Amino acid sequence: MGISPKRRAAQSAAGSGAPFTPCPASGRVYATSRTVRAADVTPAGRLRLDAFARYLQEAAEDDVADTGWRAPYDWLARRCAVSACGYPVLGDRVTLRTFCTGTGPRWAERTTTLAGPAGELMQATAIWVAIGPGGEPAGLGPGFHRWYGEAAGGRRVSARLTLPAPGTAPASYPWPVRASDFDPAGHVNNTVHWQAAEDILAGLGWFPTVAELEYHQPILPGDTPRLLASHATGQVLFWLVNDQGRLASGRLARTGSKPAPARSATASGRPAAGSIATREAGTGDL
């Protein structure tokens, strides 16, 4: 049976994102494979961004477990940027290769490349902050550098958040969360936030070659997030907010679109559905 036009379009996004970072010449690279399943895709068969985020988290967890190293801290997401030249579809067998591409005093950058049957399609670069038992950012320590320092190659990275705030007096749309969206850290998992991006994409006629998310504050039990978005040529800025301010900021863009300042935002998307559990939290200014 041939591939439908919608599924074929998902496999080849318009244009391409930023050039992919190659695997390091030396140091640890962890590889794992999986099949894209029905629970991972849109009705048209494209891998969803929230499912890709889950793939990233699980590859990272499997990588650390494979080393046998027991980190004295947890990892919480600070930001994640995805570049795509295409998207895998339902039934594809994909391989993920993940490696460390930089460090800071209390955080590390992990890069993960997803390849499908025809080659590399997506790459995500994420900053993860080490959080100690007391809930404060912790130093990475010698155990981390023993396993991941060589791949990082001494490259230093920032944990700064750069996406703009929404414009003044924006309209917003309720974005309910469910009990199953919460993870062992007690707040909504970072992969769930990507469902807001999928809510935005459901109303667009294009696939992003760049997708970014930044985490400002955790979504806690009892919070009532709202989703808002600002549309410009070739890109959408979006935010999850509550009465206290920004919870997360995001950007979806096509090739050639440059980050733009936020305009007065309008309500966008639909209430999110579904749930996936890994880890997420904002940490304020590090």
**pTM score, whole prediction:** 0.86
DSSP 31: E
Query: Strands 119-131 and 210-215: what pairing?
Result: unpaired
Are residues 281 and 191 in contact, defined by beta-carbon separation less than 8 angstroms?
Answer: no
**Candidate from 11-20, 100-109, 119-128, 137-146 with smallest mean pLDDT:** 11-20
- Give CA–CA dist 281/130, Å, rounded: 11
Q: pLDDT for 174-200, tens place per residue?
A: 999 999 999 999 999 999 999 999 999
Sort residue 209 into left (φ over 0), alpha (ψ -120 to 50) or beta. alpha
Segment 245-270 mean pLDDT: 65
Query: What was the pLDDT predicted at 9?
Result: 54
Q: Which domains does the chain have, with CATH numbers?
A: 5-152 (3.10.129.10), 173-267 (3.10.129.10)
Q: pLDDT for 45-102, tens place per residue?
A: 999 999 999 999 999 999 999 999 999 999 999 999 999 999 999 999 999 999 999 9
| Residue 7: pLDDT band with limits 50, 70, 90 | low
- Give CA–CA dist 176/270, Å, rounded: 10
- Give CA–CA dist 176/173, Å, rounded: 9
Query: What was the pLDDT predicted at 205?
Result: 87
Query: What was the pLDDT predicted at 172?
Result: 83
Q: Is 206 helix (H, G, I), strand (E, B) or coil?
A: coil
Burial tier of 14 (Cβ tally within 10 Å: 0-12, 13-18, 19+) = middle
**Candidate from 121-135, 149-163, 264-278 with smallest mean pLDDT:** 264-278
The most confident of the ranges 147-161, 247-261, 264-278 is 147-161
- Give CA–CA dist 5/140, Å, rounded: 47
